Amino acid sequence: MGGVVALGRKWRSIVAFVAPLASLVCVWEILAREVVANPFKMPEPLEVLHGADELWASGVFSPAILVTVERIGIAYGASLIIGWGVGTALGSIPSVAAVLRPIVSFFFTMPKTAIYPSLVIILGLGSSSKIVFGVMLAVFPIILGTATAVSTIDQKLIWSARSLGVSRARTFIGVVIPAMLPGAVAAARVGLVSAVVGVFLGEMMVGADGLGQLMMRMSTALDSAATYACLVTACVIAVAMDGVVLAIGRRLTWWSEG
Amino acid sequence: MSRVWREYVRPLIGILVLLGLWELLPETGLVDRELMPPFSQVMGDLPKLLTSTGFGAAMLSTATTWWVGVVSALLIGAPLGMLMGRSELVFRALNRPIGLLYSIPKVGLVVPLVLIFGVGLLSVGGVVFLGCLIPIVTSAYQGSKMTAVEHLWAARSVGVPTWMTGVRVVLPSALPHLISGTRLAVAVGLLDVLGAQFVVRQSGVGAYLYDSFDVGQFVRVWSTATVVAVLGLIADLLYVRVSKRVFPWAI
């Protein structure tokens, strides 16, 4: 124990990151070997790694991953632009809020999964239906989170700037945007998970390519190791992207404690 | 007049505009009406949909799985979250796994769950349970953290045993957060159950949607989606109403 404490901060954060993953893999190994004891139902972690290796060698893995990551990227980017834009307008302009807020709340509580088949009917089996679905899932939490962040800015900050003669535009850039950044970044993180879920779920449900579709195909082909490998890869992608967003967010809001 | 306008008419403007678009775009041929049937045509299918036995059975299956998932997540997640808020040890143990679970596309888990447990309440309901767990645990945690320590002292000083303070003090303090967290869980649960049933295709509205989609009955797909969408909205409205009635002091 003393040895761990003696490690530098950097090492401790690495350990803090690796330890839960390691324990997860251990729990998985124990469950697979002792509790379930059926390699078809729940392959051990090493078998899944082997399955991933085979998938990679067969050449279907990397195109699927690329397609999925690309879709997530586009969906998330679009959600951020729309979400931050609409959210800011919603939080700062009362007339916009009066008209848009009912629509946003209306669509927020709607189970968009039910609408996905209709999306595929219109947009086809390709990327666009998955991207739009991802945007539909991600954009609403971003809008609501950003709107809250903007509307709860301390008015005194804005008054101070304006009273010193700062123009409206400059106030917006110099005061409003930094003040709302912590909330907007938090909303962006929630949106990321939804974008990943949207694209992956869309591919699982109806699709011709992508990681979700690959997982379904492997499941039908009764290749459990490959099936689990696809799922684990999707999780890794989600966690990795979340880490990136978190890091960028911390950079942007280094001055705040939130 | 202006109150009626503000509270009832103005919120509906946006929705009426959207419905208008839904009707006009296919009618005028801007969108292929095979793919997006006009609003009126979809509404016309509603009576047939609502009286079909297949749909009724599907609704029952979806509703059951949905609510079992939400309630089980509440029964397990709320105490867990509150414990996390009061005990540093529990927090440290559970924080990372829950963060990990958060990033995982929950419906993706339905495939391994079906492999292990077969199709049924454990697998499909399990997905709903896991999806609802996160908002409930997070909100319970935040709510319990806000418990005023003076309340706890007061309870202890009149002889309430420590384990009981959880129920008598922490739970009521955490309730406002927990109620809004559960509201989110209800919506997420519906999303997850539909997705999972769509993928598994055994029973429920998700499977019903897939079957209609598969045989090209597009009008049925749109009308089913509309019914489910409205269902989600009604569930949310009802939830807010009921929680205000039952816990008026918490909202």
How confident is the prediction along chain A (258 residues), in pLDDT tens digits per residue? 555 555 677 777 777 677 777 878 888 888 888 777 777 778 888 888 888 888 888 888 888 899 999 999 999 999 999 999 998 888 888 888 877 887 888 888 888 888 888 888 888 888 889 999 999 999 998 998 888 888 888 888 888 888 888 888 888 888 888 888 888 888 888 899 889 989 999 998 888 888 888 888 888 888 888 888 888 898 889 888 988 888 888 888 777 654
Give the one of A102, A117, A228 whose C-beta lies nearest to B213's C-beta: A117
The CATH-assigned architecture of domain A49-252 is Orthogonal Bundle (1.10)
pLDDT at B58 over 70: yes
Q: Are A124 and A64 in contact, with CB atoms under 8 Å apart? A: no
Average pLDDT over residues B196-210: 87
Average pLDDT over residues B210-234: 87
Average pLDDT over residues B90-102: 83
Going from N- to C-terminal start, the domains of chain B cover 45-246
Q: Does domain B45-246 have CATH number 1.10.3720.10?
A: yes
Question: A136-191: per-residue pLDDT in tens?
Answer: 999 998 998 888 888 888 888 888 888 888 888 888 888 888 888 888 888 888 89
Q: Where are the alpha helices (DSSP H) in chain A?
A: 2-6, 9-30, 45-58, 61-92, 94-108, 116-123, 127-151, 155-163, 168-171, 177-205, 211-220, 224-252
Q: How many CA atoms lie within 13 A of A129 on its CB side?
A: 24
Average pLDDT over residues B31-56: 84
Going from N- to C-terminal start, the domains of chain A cover 1-37, 49-252
Give the one of B14, B100, B108 whose C-beta lies nearest to A200's C-beta: B108
Q: Which residue of chain A comes nearest to B115, CA vs CA?
A: A41
pLDDT at B232 over 60: yes
Q: Which amino acid is at A116?
A: Y
Judging contacts by C-beta atoms under 8 Å, the chain A residues touching residue B100 are 20-21, 24, 235, 239
Neighbouring residues of B33: CB distance < 8 A, sequence distance ≥ 6: B26, B27, B41
Average pLDDT over residues B191-212: 87
What is the distance between the alpha carbons of residues B240 and B251, in angstroms, rounded to a whole number?
A: 9
